[in-house]
Amino acid sequence: MKHYIRKRWNDYWTKKSWFSKISDLIFVLFIIAMLIPASRKAIRITASRILASSPKSIADDKQLSLAASTYDWLVYDMDGKAVPLSNFRGQAIFLNFWATWCAPCIAEMPDIQELYDQFGEHAAFLLVSDEDPARIHNFMKNRGFDMPVYIRRGGVPADFASGSIPVTFVISPDGQIIIRKTGVAKWNSNKMQELMRELIAQTVFQP
C-alpha cells in the first residue's frame, strides 16, 4: 500500500502542470474552509456577491398594485414606535426583508447601502427583519450600515408574502410593484439607479 501511494504521489508531481497543482490546492483549501462554520458563511457571502446581477423590472402588463389594506401594515422602528406603510405612500419605496444570519442578505447589503446613500433623501428605504433590535443594532454598527431598519411582528400582507429571504420589493409612488426579487441582487447597478430616478420623479406628495 505504501509503495502504491508513493507511486501515485510521484506520478502526480511529475505529470501534473503547476496550474493544475495550484488549482487542486485551491480546491482542497476551499473544501477545508467549507467545513468551518465561520469560513463557510464568509465564502457564501463572497460567492453571492460575485454571482449577483441587476434585478429585472416586471413588465407593465404584469405589475400588481398594492391592496389598499397593505398600507395599513405596521412595522416598528428601532425605538419600538409603530410605523404604518401608509407613511410612505406617494413615494418610491425600497422594501427589503432580511436577517443578520442570512448570508445572501448580508451579501447584497453593501449595494443597498450605496443605493440608499444616493437616493435615501428622496425615496423610502425599509429594511425589515423579525430579529431582536439589539442584535440588529450591533450588526448594523459593526458593519457600518445606516439604512433605516424596521422590525416586523407577526405576518406580512399577502402582497409581500414569500417563503424565503432576502426578498425585495420596489414600489412606485402610485403603488405598483415594479420589482419583486427573491435572492441576492446587485442593487446599485446603473439600471437600478436609472429606475430610482424615474420613480422619484413620479413622487406624489400627500396633502
Following DSSP, what letter does each residue of 165-192 receive, concatenated? S-EEEEE-TTSBEEEEEES---TTSHHH
- Measured CA to CA, the distance from residue 31 to residue 44 in angstroms comes to 13
- Measured CA to CA, the distance from residue 64 to residue 158 in angstroms comes to 12
**pLDDT value, residue 154:** 87
Q: Work out whether strand 93-97 and strand 167-171 pair parallel, antiparallel, or are unpaired.
A: antiparallel
Name the residue among 165, 188, 4, 52 with its Cα closest to residue 110.
Answer: 188
- Measured CA to CA, the distance from residue 116 to residue 18 in angstroms comes to 45
**pLDDT value, residue 189:** 95
| Sign of torsion over alpha carbons 133, 97, 53, 34 | positive
Cell of 53: 446581477
Residue 153, SS3?
A: coil
pLDDT truncated to tens, each residue of the chain (207 aa)? Answer: 656 556 554 554 566 565 554 554 444 444 444 555 555 556 666 666 676 688 999 999 999 999 999 999 999 999 999 999 999 999 999 999 999 999 999 999 999 999 999 999 999 999 999 999 999 999 999 999 999 999 999 899 999 999 899 999 999 999 999 999 999 999 999 999 999 999 999 998 654
Domain with CATH 3.40.30.10 in the chain: 60-201
At residue 97, φ and ψ (nearest 5 deg) are -100, 130
Q: Where are the beta strands (DSSP E) in 18-155?
A: 74-76, 82-84, 93-97, 124-129, 149-151
**pLDDT value, residue 29:** 42
- 60-201 has CATH 3.40.30.10 classification: yes
**pLDDT value, residue 141:** 96
Element (H, E) at 161: none
| Sign of torsion over alpha carbons 148, 153, 155, 157 | negative
